[in-house]
Amino acid sequence: MISGVLVYSSRGELILNKFFKNSLKRSISDIFRVQVINNLDVRSPVLTLGSTTFHHIRSRRGDNMWLVTITRSNANSAAIWEFLYKLDSVMNAYRLDREEALKEEFMIVHEMLDIMLGGNGIPIDTELNSVIAQMSVKPVRNVLESPDSIDMLSSTSSPSSVGGELHFPKFLKKRSSSFLGQGDSHSDFSDGNKISWRPKGIIHKKDEVFLYVNERMNILVSRDGSILKSYVDGTIDITTHLNGTPVCRFGLNDSLGMQSEDQKNWLSQQDEHSHNDFENKNCFPKAAAGSVLLEDCKFHECVSIEKFNKNHIIEFVPPDGSMELMKYHVRDNINLPFKITPIVAHSTRDNEVDYRITLKSLFPGKLCAKDVILHIPVPPSTVDCKISVSNGNCKFVPEENAMIWRFNKFNGLTENTLSAVTVSTSDTTQLSLQQWTRPPMSLDFEVMMFSNSGLVVRYFTISSRDSKHRAVKWIKYISKSGSYEVRY
Amino acid sequence: MSDQRVFARYKANEIVTDLQNFGVKKFKSNTTRRKNALRKIIANLTLGNYGEMSLLFPELLKFWQIEDDLEVKRICHEYIRVMGVLKPQQAKEALPFIMDDFKSRDGKLQMLALRTLVLVPLREFSDQAFDCIISLVNHKAPPEDVTRMAIYALLDLDEIDHERVLGLSSILHEIVRLQSSPPEVVVAALHTLYSVHEKNANMEPFELSLDLAFNMLELLPELNEWNKATVLEILTTSVVPQHYLDANEMIELTLPYLQQVNTYVVLNTFKFIMYLLNYVDVIKESLAEKLSNSVIALLDKPPELQFLVLRNVILLLLSRESSLLRLDISYFFIEYNDPIYIKDTKLECLYLLADKETLPRILEELEQYATDIDIQMSRKSVRAIGNLAVKLDEDSVHDCVAVLLDLLEFGVDYVVQEIMSVFRNILRKYPNNFKKNVKELVKHTEVVQEPESKNAMIWIITQYSDIIPNYLDLFKVFSSNMFNETLEVQFSILNSATKFFIRCPTKETEELCMDLLKGCTDQENNPDLRDKAFMYWRLLSLTKMSGTSSALTFEALKSVVDGELPLIEMNTKLDPTVLEELELNIGTIVSIYLKPVSHIFRLNKTKLLPPSPVLNSNKDLLPVVDNSFSPTGANRNRQNSESQSSTKSRRTAMMDDYDKPAEKINQLKGKRKSSSNNPSKLSRKPSTLLRKLSMKRPFS
């Protein structure tokens, strides 16, 4: 399928080429360089010349290298781009996303490609942990633990250091024992079966599981304040250090799961503990009371999809280390974390534009958002802005034609106001201000222990034959901005 | 020496010295240094330094014998693979070493050796490769990955010796039939068989019996994501349902895989289900719902994959009269930071999704995009508004025109030009509805610069000359400069001048028309333009003779020059046979270009729906029913509740609905300050200095 793989530096220097067809010549790499890398106006991630097709991605890590494949027939583009992104993350795990490192250790990538692509350039295995297991060189240990998201684990490399931030619902412990019993009887994963993603006999000093609920909030608000679209894309990532071959199981408060029979059962039992179970009630105003409608779930291959469809339990034998367990998509009943109310007007004199913006946080007062940045576009002819803010720090950045309003910390249920006026160049006309395209304002933020969708992990159990002691379980909710745009 | 950079051009003898210096095996430190020297060879091959590197062949062979380090072996093999293409004769000397590697017990080495044998285009190498593969496949229990490698290697060898591969195909058939080998091996055998059939034009399309197909589907849970996707890819078109039940059962078995993370798996599942839907009696509403949701969820992928999914959405929207997909238009609203290729594609989706109900929201969006910074984007959205006006019915066209007129006021020249071009189409479809707007349009005569919009403007002026008092003045803006125009504009100027003259033969129009005709026949070099001018001239003179001998009546002349134009329609539909083929190629490269495979890849076969007693002849007639039977009973409630909420809440949702009283309100304090750092700080300093000085003055 894939006839050749090329890796270029961000400037377009060829660092690696590996061909799986003897009909390919090295000169083909020049064609891509000329047509795509040196071409400033590229309008497609795929280029077909004659019967040769180049698919490319730009790595978003390290030195932003170009990863390119060459194919000679009507190959499957989905397979190719998925493969390129997997290659990117394996290279990242080996810290080969830097140009200088790759120039020394390119033979490691040759080995990777030999493992990931079978004969005829067909992808056969790209799962990070499995590839690493087959490699003769192992990456530096701590990289293995946080393979694809530095931000995910950067603050949480060990549980002790994060104490306050991590949330550990009490009911998780209480519930686990009762689920253990019924779990083993109908488990799909008897020890006899070989599980391709988990070798036997893994040993850890301490049994630990970290569950991360990551959400990205996307919203587009029109001029009159109506919401044109709003949805949450979420992923649940998991990092496990467990002995043997454990079966993990957890349930979410999704509306379908809540309806099924055994869940109702669970709810009635649940009432007994209700006084201490929902310690986190404040964080999940809607969710704790109700349930979330998951539009679509996608799972890592280790999750038994049948079981999920039948009774909405997510059951799996995790590969050792970190991975993305599932993805979901929510559209209804979303908890908006911020409300932006912009008033932008042209004042008639002096060709100024007048801004008055309130930014209000709608999440509970106990919580606190960090890295809140509001990006406020100004007309291109602006040379300066006179700004006054009630809090935070706002600067005019001429390179971006925007004012950047920045908060290191933003408390819940707090309102802040910005008032500003632009100063334009003297040759600016009223007309050119009117013709200004007014790109939307966009907001970046990160709120810990808040879930935009209201999704809550209700219980999490681990059953394992080999484990002598109970595993420690940690759950962390992180809500971030995806594309949070407001027109005005 | 060893701290020299690996990735740089070297002369052959520099590397030879390196290798000889550290050739002695005694010291451990030498191993890494030697390896570094060897790596330099591969780096130089990447840099294209073939001439120098080919000299190193004997050196390399020396190391091949004495080293057992895997990386060194890998370097040797990589070297032979590259050099084998350039200098086949030399490569032959390495053959015994490769065979030594193959005979070793180490699976990794065996695979390296096999790959090299396949990649060097030499008879001797491929002969050896065949022998190796046969010995591997017949061997009792070789490691799985080696067997799999061997089977896939047959695909490469097929290009060299098709007959010999065919001879081996019975072994592969046996592996697929018995299913006793490890699942990876079965998939590899199946894949190889399928690809060999696909690659060779003279072979029939690959077929799989229903029993074996069901076996493969039951094997799916044990396979990894790539193999799952491969199996689903192969099953599309190679298994032919003989009964509705077959198709339905297979759909049930594959549905769960819509929920995988890997786009390759999801799209192939999608493709397989779409294929099977050609062989069912009814489509369940819940299935349509599931398919739509899984597509939407894929829009969360990295941009390139998002792009692919969007292109396939276009394909699916085009494929049926009323699409199977239930998509909310808001997913296709453009985000500011979307890459340009995604913006383009979303715009196309919006255009296709527009109907009476969604039009207001879509128009609002398109108006927004028309003022985008990217000129192409802005033009495309204007074009889309215009096309929607022509595509939809008469009620909608007024909304579209209102938006266009709004944009006209915006006044940016490329937007104006684009509006002219699309307005011509609207006026052609609804000649009488927008007469009052024509005056507004012709105000912009001076602005239009591009041939297409000039053409459109000339056409509008000509068509509505009866309601534009100064039409001749406007027309002269173009005609006075006729000989600098592009050919198409020249054509329309000529045509319009003739029309004016015929409609109202005054002295002024006659002069204008005759001047142009003369100019074209005397000065113009382009034969087409000259001929056209001559034709008009002849037509005019034939009727002009008047009297009884007139060869052409005035009416006839009018109908030739100024006749009724045919009604225009927006045809977005693709040829049904092309669509059928594209649906079988969901997720592949052609699904991006939306062109038949044979147009892009001449050697690839065209996929067709295989005949079966239950094949639907017209899929638009296929009923979609709200099913009472569904795997999860809760599904239906959910759909209902969702459709309600989507119609009610989504329309009216406002930012204010989510509002909550703030616990703390920070008030503005202080005045607005200039934020650019350089001027403010500097300007203040002298003044403070001044003040201090003046304070001190009394004391001094």
Q: What is the pLDDT of residues B356-369, one digit of tens each?
A: 888 888 888 888 88
- B603–A73: do the CB atoms touch at under 8 Å? yes
Note whether A19 and A119 are same-domain residues.
yes
Distance from CA of B17 to the nearest CA of A (A): 20
- A389–B671: do the CB atoms touch at under 8 Å? no
User: Is the pLDDT assigned to residue B649 strictly greater than 60?
Assistant: no
Note whether A42 and A72 are same-domain residues.
yes
Question: pLDDT of B437-453, one tens digit each?
Answer: 888 888 888 888 888 88
Distance from CA of A299 to the nearest CA of B (A): 5
B557-581 burial: b if 16+ Cβ within 10 Å, else e: beeebbeeeeeeeeeeebeeebbbb
Question: pLDDT of A387-410, one tens digit each?
Answer: 998 888 999 988 888 999 999 999
Spatial CB neighbours of B665, under 8 Å, sequence gap ≥ 6? A414, A415
Note whether A285 and A359 are same-domain residues.
no
Residue A40 included in any domain: yes
Q: Which of A19-23, A156-160, B70-74 has the lowest mean pLDDT?
A: A156-160
Residue A165 included in any domain: no
Nearest to A122 by CA among B110, B548, B184: B184
- A57–B600: do the CB atoms touch at under 8 Å? no
Question: pLDDT of A428-478, one tens digit each?
Answer: 777 777 778 788 899 999 998 888 888 888 888 888 766 566 788 888 889
Binning pLDDT at 50, 70 and 90, where does residue B22 land?
Answer: low
pLDDT at residue B306 in the model = 92
- A122–B230: do the CB atoms touch at under 8 Å? yes
Distance from CA of A349 to the nearest CA of B (A): 17
Q: Which residues are bridge partners to B524 per DSSP?
A: none
pLDDT at residue B307 in the model = 93
User: Is the pLDDT assigned to residue A81 strictly greater than 90?
Assistant: yes
User: What Å distances lie between residue A398 and A389, A423, A436, B336, B683, CA to CA?
Assistant: 19, 12, 16, 19, 20
Residue A150 included in any domain: no
User: What Å distances lie between residue A464 and A202, A252, A334, B380, CA to CA?
Assistant: 12, 22, 37, 59
Note whether A397 and A318 are same-domain residues.
no
Binning pLDDT at 50, 70 and 90, where does residue A165 land?
Answer: very low
Number of domains in chain A: 3
Note whether A387 and A471 are same-domain residues.
no
Residue A82 included in any domain: yes
Q: Is the Cβ–Cβ distance between A396 and A377 less than 8 Å?
A: no
Q: What is the mean pLDDT of chain B?
A: 80
Question: pLDDT of B29-59, one tens digit each?
Answer: 677 777 888 888 888 888 888 888 888 888 8
Nearest to B332 by CA among B344, B320, B340: B344
Q: Which of A5-14, A85-94, A240-249, A409-418 has the lowest mean pLDDT?
A: A240-249
CB contacts under 8 A, B 631-650 vs A, are: 631-632, 634-635, 637-638, 641-642, 645-646, 649
Q: Can you say whether the dihedral through the CA atoms of A290, A295, A300, A306 is positive or negative?
A: positive
Tokens 């944009």, residue? B407
CATH of the domain at A17: 3.30.450.60
Question: pLDDT of A288-310, one tens digit each?
Answer: 446 778 877 888 888 888 788 77
Residues of A in contact with B361 (CB under 8 A): 228
B111 touches chain A (CB under 8 A): yes
Distance from CA of A99 to the nearest CA of B (A): 11
- B672–A437: do the CB atoms touch at under 8 Å? no
Interface test with B, best of A5, A77, A341, A399 (most B CBs within 10 A): A77
- B305–A389: do the CB atoms touch at under 8 Å? no
B152 touches chain A (CB under 8 A): yes
Residues of B in contact with A295 (CB under 8 A): 293, 296-297
Give the percent of chain A with pLDDT over 90. 14
pLDDT at residue A349 in the model = 67
Q: Write phi, then psi, for A12 (nearest 5 degrees).
A: 105, 15
Note whether A53 and A116 are same-domain residues.
yes
- B230–A107: do the CB atoms touch at under 8 Å? no
Note whether A80 and A125 are same-domain residues.
yes
Note whether A36 and A184 are same-domain residues.
no
Interface test with B, best of A82, A98, A424 (most B CBs within 10 A): A82
CATH of the domain at A269: 2.60.40.1170
Element (H, E) at A396: strand A393-397
Note whether A299 and A430 are same-domain residues.
no
Question: pLDDT of B544-600, one tens digit each?
Answer: 655 555 666 777 777 777 777 777 776 667 788 888 888 889 999 989 988 888 888
Q: Is the Cβ–Cβ distance between B74 and B92 less than 8 Å?
A: no
pLDDT at residue A157 in the model = 35
pLDDT at residue A257 in the model = 58
Binning pLDDT at 50, 70 and 90, where does residue A166 land?
Answer: very low
Q: Which of A65-79, B290-304, B362-376 has the lowest mean pLDDT?
A: B362-376
Nearest to B138 by CA among B172, B114, B161, B115: B172
Element (H, E) at A404: strand A402-411
User: Is the pLDDT assigned to residue A334 strictly greater than 60?
Assistant: yes
Please give the structure tokens belonging to residue A289.
Answer: 């009371």
Question: pLDDT of B102-146, one tens digit each?
Answer: 888 788 888 888 888 888 888 888 888 888 888 887 776 667 788
Residues of B in contact with A417 (CB under 8 A): 666-668
Give the percent of chain A with pLDDT over 70. 79
Note whether A140 and A106 are same-domain residues.
yes
- Residue A470 burial by Cβ neighbours in a 10 Å radius (0-12, 13-18, 19+): exposed
Separation CA B66–CA B60 (nearest Å):
10
Residues of A in contact with B348 (CB under 8 A): none
- A362–B302: do the CB atoms touch at under 8 Å? no
Nearest to A291 by CA among A445, A85, A429, A458: A458
Nearest CB partner across the interface for B293, out of A296, A391, A421: A296
Nearest to A44 by CA among A33, A57, A31, A34: A57
Spatial CB neighbours of B405, under 8 Å, sequence gap ≥ 6? B437, B440
Residues of A in contact with B340 (CB under 8 A): 43
Distance from CA of B553 to the nearest CA of A (A): 53
Please give the structure tokens belonging to residue B532.
Answer: 């056209």
User: Is the pLDDT assigned to residue B147 strictly greater than 70?
Assistant: yes
The mean per-residue pLDDT over the stretch A152-171 comes to 38
Residue A163 included in any domain: no
User: Is the pLDDT assigned to residue B647 strictly greater than 50?
Assistant: no
Note whether A216 and A327 are same-domain residues.
yes
Question: pLDDT of B257-270, one tens digit each?
Answer: 888 888 999 999 99
CA angle B377, B381, B386 (to 5 degrees): 150
- A299–B259: do the CB atoms touch at under 8 Å? yes
Higher pLDDT, B653 or B263: B263
The mean per-residue pLDDT over the stretch A321-328 comes to 86
pLDDT at residue A468 in the model = 64
Nearest CB partner across the interface for A78, out of B221, B308, B645: B308
User: Is the pLDDT assigned to residue A143 strictly greater than 80?
Assistant: no
pLDDT at residue A214 in the model = 92
B300 touches chain A (CB under 8 A): yes
Residue A462 included in any domain: yes
Separation CA B534–CA B470 (nearest Å):
28
Residue A33 included in any domain: yes
pTM of the complete model beyond 0.80 = no
Q: What is the mean pLDDT of chain A?
A: 78
Nearest to B642 by CA among A45, A256, A101: A256
pLDDT at residue A147 in the model = 39
Note whether A327 and A368 are same-domain residues.
no
Distance from CA of B609 to the nearest CA of A (A): 18
pLDDT at residue A185 in the model = 35
Residue A365 domain boundaries: 338-448
Residue A220 included in any domain: yes
Please give the structure tokens belonging to residue B598.
Answer: 């044979």
C-alpha R_g of chain A: 26
Distance from CA of A445 to the nearest CA of B (A): 16
Nearest CB partner across the interface for A387, out of B592, B631, B673: B673
Amino acid at position A234, single letter: G
Higher pLDDT, B353 or A147: B353
pLDDT at residue A70 in the model = 93
Q: Which residues are bridge partners to A372 per DSSP?
A: A407
Interface test with B, best of A69, A124, A485 (most B CBs within 10 A): A124
Q: Within 13 Å and on the Cβ side, how many CA atoms surround A36?
A: 27
pLDDT at residue B683 in the model = 45
Check: complex ipTM more than 0.95: no
- B666–A417: do the CB atoms touch at under 8 Å? yes
